[in-house]
């Protein structure tokens, strides 16, 4: 029975590991991190959510990426960056809601348009997507456990915590509390 529990935990870890936000390549599909792309226009067409990530693709010898304060963004100042990237394929996570400001630190490039403000919204919840007609949402407390995962006689089911982390994978929503509760129940089984 312990093997089943380990298998369930491994599957839960795999699901959680693959559940992440969107990846946005700056300027794509028609441009990149360069002097020709209108980065402000590009950013206005993308909905950024907490958990997403930005990818800056550019020629290493020609550009870089600096994350800066709003004041430095407005002034195109590269004197005190919050973070700097130089690989030509920089991945920047967007873990929380709020504005983020990026410029190219090569002199003249920010003034030439190599700057982008990213307005990151709160992460999407499972209630953001409408359900198909005739379907209703189940709360974790009212959702039935699959028949293969039932508590042993005398065992108590662990109710999901109100602070459980919700994870969306495609159109399937999972509760971390539900996964862990199921794993715990499997161990009892």
Question: What percent of the chain is predicted at pLDDT more than 70?
Answer: 55
Domain annotation covers residue 151 = yes
Considering the domain architecture, whether residues 130 and 180 belong to the same structural domain is answered as: yes
**Residues 38 and 76 placed together within one structural domain of the fold:** yes
Contacts of residue 114, Cβ cutoff 8 Å, sequence gap at least 6: 33, 34, 35, 39, 63, 103, 104, 106
Task: Identify which of 1, 57, 61 has the alpha carbon closest to the alpha carbon of residue 24.
Answer: 57
Show the domain range for 160.
2-19+126-134+147-188
pTM: 0.58
- Tell me if 141 is assigned to some domain: no
Residue 183's SS3 state is helix
- List pLDDT tens digits, range 9-57: 444 433 343 346 999 999 999 889 999 999 999 999 999 999 999 999 9
In a domain, 139, yes or no: no
- Whether 29 maps to a domain, the answer reads yes
Dihedral, CA of residue 22, residue 27, residue 28 and residue 31, to nearest 10: -170
The reply to whether 153 and 69 lie within a common domain is no
Per-residue burial over 66-105, b if 16 or more Cβ lie within 10 Å, else e, is bbbeeebbeebbbeebeeebeebebebebeeeeebbbbbb
State whether 34 and 11 are in the same domain. Answer: no
Side-chain-side CA neighbours of 140 within 13 Å: the count stands at 22
Higher pLDDT, 165 or 88: 88
CATH code of the domain in which 43 resides: 2.60.40.420
Residue 94 lies in a domain: yes
Task: Evaluate whether residue 175 is within a structural domain.
Answer: yes
Helices (H), the chain: 2-18, 39-44, 70-75, 176-188
Percent of the chain with pLDDT over 90: 53
pLDDT at 123: 86
* Together in a domain, 30 and 116: yes
Q: What is the dihedral of CA 75, 92, 34, 68, to 10 degrees?
A: 10
Averaged pLDDT for residues 120-133: 65
Same domain, yes or no, for 38 and 74? yes
Residue 167 lies in a domain: yes
- Rounded Cα distance between 43 and 77, Å, is 20
Domain count, the chain: 2
Looking at residue 124, what is its pLDDT? 73
CA distance 177 to 165: 7
CA dihedral 45, 52, 63, 35 (to 10 degrees): 0
Same-domain check for residues 8 and 48: no
Q: Residue 83: inside a domain, yes or no?
A: yes
d(CA 187, CA 1): 7
Residue written as token pair 């390549």: 25
Same domain, 41 and 108: yes
The Cα 92–Cα 94 span in angstroms is 7
In this predicted model, which residue has the larger pLDDT, 130 or 8?
A: 130
């Amino acid at each position: 029975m312990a093997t089943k529990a380990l298998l369930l935990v491994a599957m839960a870890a795999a699901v959680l590991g693959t559940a992440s936000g969107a990846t946005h390549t700056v300027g794509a599909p028609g441009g990149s991190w360069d002097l020709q792309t209108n980065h402000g226009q590009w950013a206005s067409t993308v909905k950024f959510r907490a958990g997403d990530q930005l990818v800056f693709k550019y020629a290493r010898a020609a550009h870089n990426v600096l994350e800066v304060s709003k004041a430095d963004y407005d002034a195109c100042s590269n004197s005190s960056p919050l973070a700097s990237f130089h690989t030509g394929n920089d991945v920047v996570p967007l873990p929380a809601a709020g504005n983020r400001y990026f410029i190219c630190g090569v002199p003249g490039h920010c003034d030439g348009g190599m700057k982008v403000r990213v307005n990151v919204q709160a992460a999407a919840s499972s209630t953001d997507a409408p359900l198909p007609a005739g379907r209703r949402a189940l709360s974790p407390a009212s959702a039935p456990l699959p028949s293969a995962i039932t508590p042993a006689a005398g065992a108590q089911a662990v109710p999901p915590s109100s602070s459980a982390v919700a994870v969306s994978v495609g159109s399937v929503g999972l509760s971390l509390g539900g996964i862990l509760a199921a794993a715990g129940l499997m161990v009892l089984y």
